[in-house]
Amino acid sequence: MDLTMVLKIRSLIALLLFLLASDGALAACSGTISGGGTGSEHYVDISDGGCEFPVMMINGEYKFSDECKDTHNGFSCRDNGRTPISGATYILKKDAKPICVGAKYAERYKCIRGCRKVTPKYLTVSPYEC
């Protein structure tokens, strides 16, 4: 094995060790899905808290995966959940006013089933970066 190959292997091993030690610090942050009126008890924020949480959380308290499941074009939340969106089904719509400069539209989720008085009709998708 020549010296160049040895150096490449050492570099790859060092990179692998760095990535393992970083504990996901290089993972991309997710945007936010929110709605229901800021400050309201019915407000919903689905996010990773700007990389604060290792998984998507609802209002920073409940794992999204414990409360809801992804569907083909949206998500459904369990009936006996602990959030204002429990029992609701949302579909993704591409019809909102653009958030990012140069975008033709923005995305939002619309409640189509299980919508109650406390359930936000729309949840707006805010990208982490434009």
- Token readout for 31 is 């945007």
What average pLDDT does the segment 45-74 reach?
A: 95
- Asked if residues 64 and 49 have their Cβ atoms less than 8 Å apart, the reply is no
Question: What end-to-end distance do the CA atoms of the chain give, in Å?
Answer: 46
pLDDT of 68 > 60? The answer is: yes
Q: Specify whether the CB–CB gap between 38 and 53 falls below 8 A.
A: no
Mean pLDDT of 87-103: 90
Answer whether residue 3 is part of any domain: no
Q: So what's the pLDDT on residue 77?
A: 98
The mean pLDDT value for 105-111 works out to 94
Kindly tell me if the per-residue pLDDT of 21 is higher than 50: no
Instruction: Show Cβ contacts of residue 118 under 8 Å, excluding neighbours closer than 6 positions.
Output: 41, 42, 84
**Residue 50 falls within a domain, yes or no?**
yes
pTM reported for the whole predicted model: 0.73
- What number is the average pLDDT over the span 81-106? 91
- Which residues are 32's β-sheet partners? 126
In a domain, 4, yes or no: no
* Residue-range definition of the domain harbouring residue 80: 28-126
Residue 22, pLDDT > 80, answer no
- pLDDT range class, residue 128, cuts 50, 70, 90: confident
**Assigned domain for 77 exists:** yes
- Within a domain: 35: yes
Residue 18: per-residue pLDDT: 40
Contact 68, 85 (CB under 8 A): yes
Report if residue 10 sits inside a domain: no
Residue 61 belongs to a domain: yes
**7 domain-assigned:** no
Q: How many domains does the chain have?
A: 1
